[in-house]
Amino acid sequence: MASPEDMAAAVADSMRQRTGHSLDEWVGIVEQGSGLDPLDQLAVRRWLRDEHGIAQNSQWAIAFEVAGRAGWTMPTPQQFADQMYVGKKEPLRPVHDTLVAAAEACGPEAHVEGRATYTPIVRARQFAAVGPGPRLTVRLGLRFREAPGGLEPAKAFAQATHWMHFGTDVDPQAAVQQARELLALAYEQNG
């Protein structure tokens, strides 16, 4: 699976063909004409959509580049997780970290990425995702082509086909024991 940087580069390479302007030209348009804070990527994307009809992938590439030139750097997966588990969600962090480590340990091709609302673990494709769930739980999303029986189907969570939830009362190691075989199966099916 391509990294976010690789995907942004691919979008940038075809920017002129799709939008009529190069990425550098779009950066100038945003900086000169939007009046927006260049670090507010959401506002920049909305402005590009509303004022210029720019498609979503191009919006993301332009906003990412504008923010980067203004000094923004992409948070690490650890920094994203730090933001997810604040306040009343803080006690869930050990379960999150233990599940992420178990998923990453599934094989040499597994790597952890960062997102604002969940942590994806990727092989050739994302095979697992860990993030805060409802009612003070940690949600483990798993992506299967052929799922084992007895799992709850996921509903619009991070490319997951099925999911599990773990509360604050679960020992992190017990969560891993419940999930280890499923993580390994998801890893194998997404190579």
Going from N- to C-terminal start, the domains of the chain cover: 4-69, 77-189
pLDDT value at residue 2 = 64
Q: What confidence tens digit (pLDDT) does each residue in 102-132 have?
A: 999 999 999 999 999 999 999 999 999 999 9
For a pLDDT cut of 70, what percent of the chain falls above it?
96
CA pair distance 76, 98, nearest whole angstrom = 17
DSSP 126-164: EEEEEEEETTTEEEEEE--SSPPTTPEEP-SSTT-SEEE
CA pair distance 160, 154, nearest whole angstrom = 6
User: Rounded to two decimals, what is the model's pTM?
Assistant: 0.79
Angle, CA of 155, 11 and 3, to the nearest 5°: 60
Question: Residues 92, 57: contact at Cβ < 8 Å?
Answer: no
Higher-confidence residue of 44 and 10: namely 44
Average pLDDT score over the chain: 93
58: helix, strand or coil? helix
**48: closest CA among 34, 38, 28?**
34
Which residues, at least 6 apart from 152, have a Cβ–Cβ distance to it below 8 Å? 162, 163, 164
Question: Residues 31, 67: contact at Cβ < 8 Å?
Answer: no
